[in-house]
Structure 1
Amino acid sequence: MGSFSAWHWLIVLVVVLLFFGKGKIPELMGDLAHGIRAFKKGVEDEKDDTSLS
């Protein structure tokens, strides 16, 4: 149960590319980034609302 070698990561990368395809990964990363930004904005709005009380 040690750390993964470079070969393990290469195999994982190949499987991910085969599963999602080359064009789908950037789209997924963009959606993930959009979700993170929306979450951060929601947290900031929540802080602003509670500080006004």
Structure 2
Amino acid sequence: MGEISITKLLVVGVLIVLLFGTKKLRTLGGDLGAAIKGFKKAMNDEDSATKAATGAEASAERISHKE
């Protein structure tokens, strides 16, 4: 197949811009960026909720086992 050179990448890039147009590509990029931000926020929220729940369970166990 051969190696992928910079000229081949440029040709593919130009063809994509000609096929879709810059406005549609800009919109697609914005939508992709918003989706990635939403995914990261959801992952951070889930991690913080898990840590909070684990911390609450651990403190409850310590209190109940002090007998």
Please list every run of 5 or more consecutive structure 2 residues that lacks an aligned counterpart in the other structure.
54-67
Q: 1:51 corresponds to which letter in structure 2?
A: K
TM-score (norm 2): 0.68
1:36 alignment partner in structure 2:
36
Larger RCO, structures 1/2 (Cα 8 Å, 6+ apart): 2
Residue 21, structure 1, aligned to residue 29, structure 2? no
Task: Give runs of ≥4 in structure 1 deviating > 6 Å.
Answer: none
Deviations 1:1-53 (CA, angstroms, capped at 9, x unpaired): 45312220121012211221121111111111100110000001100111121
Higher-Rg member (1/2): 2
Residue 52, structure 1, aligned to residue 63, structure 2? no
Please list every run of 5 or more consecutive structure 1 residues that lacks an aligned counterpart in the other structure.
none
CA–CA distance in 2 between the matches of 1:18 and 1:40? 32
Number of positions where the alignment pairs a residue of Structure 1 with one of Structure 2: 53
Residue 9, structure 1, aligned to residue 9, structure 2? yes
Of all paired residues, the percent bearing the same amino acid is 40
